[in-house]
Structures are given as structure tokens and as C-alpha cells.
Amino acid sequence: MEPTQLFELVIAMFLAIIALHYAAHRLGLPPSVALLAGGSLLAFVPGLPAIIVDPGLVLVIFLPPLLMDGAWAIALARLRRHMIGIASLAVGAVLFTCAVVAVTTHLLFPSLPWAACAALGAIVSPPDAVSARAVLERVRLPRRIQILLEGESLLNDASGLVLFRFAVAAAATGTFDAMEAVGNFFVLALGGAVVGLVVGATWVKLVRRLGDEYLIIAATVLLAWISYLLGELLHVSGVIATVTTGLIASWHQHTVFSAAMRMRGTSFWTVMIFLMEAAVFTLIGLSLRDVVERGGGFATVIATMGLPMLAILVTLVIARFAWVFGSDLLIRLCAAFGSKHAHPIGAGGAAVLGWAGVRGVVTLALALSLPETFPGRDFILVTSFAVILGTVLVQGTTLGQVIAWAGLVEPQSESARLTMSQAEAAMAQAQLGTVQNLAYDADGKLIHPQLLERYQRRATAIVDYAARTEHYVPMLHAHFDVVLEAVATGRRELIRLHRAGEIDDETLHELERDLDLEELSAISSKA
């Protein structure tokens, strides 16, 4: 394919992404489902060249920034609090699912080497970070369930990648040492964490010295790839390195970023992640044609592999449910014997955790990276794609109904000690204290009376609002509705002045930014 044609194809793909996202919004479907289905249909459009995904390139391009985004947004305090549960899912569930799938595959195909069966298990066992977030952003979950799923999606790729590499090596050499595999896993994870700490600490020092907003934003965007590539170069876990770097950057960004930098950087990063997430699902769909052709066509695939693929997909789901419910049962037993730290999530929470195991780009990339001579490669590739399709199209579209059926409620222990309005009241009191100290000169003369009155009035109002939130909410909404109307009127007048040539572009942009900030503040306050 000519470079110009490739660029045209990329532009066409992004146009298709916009159209599919719009269609998903209109039809009430998860965008991931529309993108995957749309990409699969586009793959068979006559005249469109076959899309052959380079697995290594896909992982390097898409995985680091998407992992970084997840680590940047995750609640670090809750991550630490639920680390045992997250590790159970990210390591224990992956190992258990890999073993169950390997046994099932060997029962279905006794002639297939155990290493090839284990490779399939490693490929399909880790739920995907991109797919999980695409599903979770459309539903509301209790904080504990949310953090378990988010934390699992950040860390389980490391488990799956290590298992996959050992399975491929075992297939090539004919030997496998379980103790060596476990030892190497911890070495890779620890090494990745060290690399992430070094890169994250270096970024914090660099940001404080760069000074220029755009340089800082550029350095932050590159941070994901730097940590991932450095980890892989040093033969440790690039996934753990990226997640660790993201957690450090997330913790320090509140103190090293200015307000303008945070707004500009967040806007750029949000659009970039949106396009990358959408491109991942579209590329998965577009790769269907190559996958089917490798399997001998639709008819051959369905006739020879249909039932085994369905059996493995069902086994995959059952294995995850078995691990989640088994773990919750163990926690219940610990609680029954008096453990104060044992807090089961209940049958409803376990059902949601079990049903949320959606697979995606990592599964496809690992399957495509198998050597051409690998035993059972075509079956593994087709089955991996079937697992992605099945979990995204079935579990992704029905997770909302499962959550509604489960009737989950937020435990009191997961609630923050202060509400948002109480936190605002604490901030207002602290700000008032500063203004009171600075409102008088050295001789005790009041030099900022209006400023002091403004902050006193604001602190009093916010404290009163925090004490009677339910009483003020209707009035607050009506208040900010008027503010938004006033902002819209001001914007129309500003544009009229500019179109009439009465103000220049610089004045337009400065006043428009003020209106934008006022509008965003009103929308945030109203919500």
C-alpha cells in the first residue's frame, strides 16, 4: 500500500469513528460495540485493502497511553485499600482462568501440545483495560466494585503477557519450570515498578524546571511511551512501569501543574485518548477479514471451529465467575471467624465482577504475535477473536442490566468523610483566613475591605449551603441557569462586536476565555 493511500485510509477510519460514535449515541449502544461491529463490516467492503495488524506495533502505540490514562484517573487511596482484592483478580484470576482454558482446550484437542493450550489460556485470560473502561464509563457502580475493576484492568496485562511468553517459550523448547516462571514474574514486576519510580520521579523534577506549558504537556504525553519502552528495553514489565509512572504523575500533577496547563493538557489528552480508544476497537473489527481468511473462510471457521470456540468462551466466563464467587466465599468465611478486615462484596457484586471480564486489543495482539509455525495457531487466532466479539457484544451490552439486577448499594465504609459541599466549606474557611491576614497592613489598617467582605460573604454562604444542601439545590440550579443564560448573551454580544469590527481578535480571545471559564464554573456548580 502506498504511503498516501495509508494516510487516506487512516483519515477514513477516523471519519468512520465519528459516524459510529454518533450512531451508538443515537441507538443507545456502548460505543465499543458500534465501533467493533462497524469495523467488522468495513473489513469486507469491496475494494478496501485487507488490514493486517502488526501486533507489536499495536501494543507499543496504544497500550502505554491507555494504561497511563487509567493510572492517572484512578483513586490512589482506594487502590491501596483494595490492593489485595485487585491482586486476586489481576494475578489469581488470570492464572486460574489460564489453567481452566488450557485444560478445556486440551480435552477438546488432545493432540494439541499443552504449551499451545496454555498459550491460548494466557491470551484470553486477562480482561482488557480499554474494553473495561469503555464499558464502565457508561454505568454507575459502588466505589469498591469500580476500583476493583479499574485496578484489575491496569495490572492484569502484566500477568497475561508473562504467562504468554512462558507458554511460547515452552512450546519452542519443550520444557517448563513453574517455580522459575513464578520467580521471573516477581522479578519482572519488581523491575517494572523500579523503572516506573525512576521515570516518574524524573518527570516531576523535569516539570518543575521546564517552565513552558507546551513543553510540559509534550513531556507528559511522551511519559507513557518512555516508561513502557524503557521497561521493555531493560527486560522488565513495561506494563507495571507505565502504571507506576502514571500513579506518580497523577499524585504530583496537582502541585506541579498550573491551572491553565491542567486545562489545556487535559483537553488535549482527553481527545487523544478518545481517538486511540476508538481506533483500537475499529482496528479489531477491521482485522476480522484477515483472521477469517487465515481460518479458511466463514464456512470453514463455523463448521470446524464453531463449537470448540463456543465451549472455550463459556469456559472462560464460568472460570471467572468461579474465581470471583470462590474468593468472596473465602472472605465470608474469614468474616464469620471474626476477621475485622474481611468485607465480602456479596452475590450481586460478585455477579457484576464476573460479568465485567471484557477482552480486547491485548488478546488480539498476543494472538497475532504467535509464530507462523506455532501449533494450532489458526485455531488460537480465530478463538481469540471470537472471545473478543463475544465478550464485547454480549457482556458489554448487558452489563448495565446486570448491575440493575444486582441492586448494588454503596457501603458506608466506602463513603468519604466529607461531602463535596463540606469540602468546599473547608476551602472557603481556609481562604477567608488568608484574606483576613492580608487585608490589613502592618499598622492594622484595613486596606482591602471589599475583598474581605467578599470572602466573608462567600464563606458564610458556603457553610450554610453545606448544612442545608437539600434546601438550596433547587435555588442553586435556578441561579446557575440564569448565569448560563447571561454567559450566552455576553457571548453573542462579544461576537457581534467582533463581526462589526469594533474589537480586535486579541480582545475577542481574552474575553471569550473569561466567558468559557465562567460557563464551565456554572456547569460544574450546577452539577
Q: Hey, how many other C-beta atoms are within 10 angstroms of the C-beta on 390? A: 20
* pLDDT for 393: 85
The DSSP code sequence of 229-259 is HHHHHTTS-HHHHHHHHHHHHHHHHHHHS-H
* Three cell numbers, residue 157: 496485562
Query: What's the length of the chain?
Result: 527
pLDDT means over runs of 10, the chain (527 residues): 78 90 84 85 78 80 88 82 88 92 93 90 84 67 84 84 85 71 82 95 90 87 94 92 93 83 86 88 82 77 86 94 91 78 82 87 84 86 89 84 81 64 81 88 87 87 80 80 90 89 85 86 76
C-alpha cell belonging to residue 49: 485493502
CA 59 remoteness from chain centre: 15
Task: Please write down the long-range contacts of 270-277, taking CB distance under 8 Å and 24 or more positions apart.
Answer: 272/65, 272/221, 273/65, 273/66, 273/69, 275/14, 275/17, 276/61, 276/62, 276/65, 276/66, 277/66, 277/130, 277/133, 277/134
One DSSP character per residue, 30-77 reads -HHHHHHHHHHHHTTSTTPPP----HHHHHHHHHHHHHHHHHHHS-HH
| 124 HSE (CA, 13 A, CB side) | 36
pLDDT of 102 reads 93
Nearest one of 154, 149, 152, 147 to 135, comparing CA atoms: 149
Residue 24, classed as helix, strand or coil, is helix
- Residue 416 pLDDT: 63
pLDDT digits (tens, 9 = 90+) for 440-493: 888 888 889 888 888 888 888 888 877 777 777 787 788 888 988 998 999 899
- Reference 87, options 186, 229, 176, 181; nearest CA is 186
- Predicted confidence at residue 131, as pLDDT, reads 64
CB contact at 8 A, 14 and 274? no
pLDDT score recorded for residue 413:
58
Q: Estimate the share of the chain in helix, then strand, then coil, as percent rounded to the nearest 5.
A: 80, 0, 20
What is the greatest pairwise CA distance in the chain? 93
∠ CA 492-496-498, rounded to 5°? 120
Helix (H, G, I), strand (E, B) or coil at 2: coil
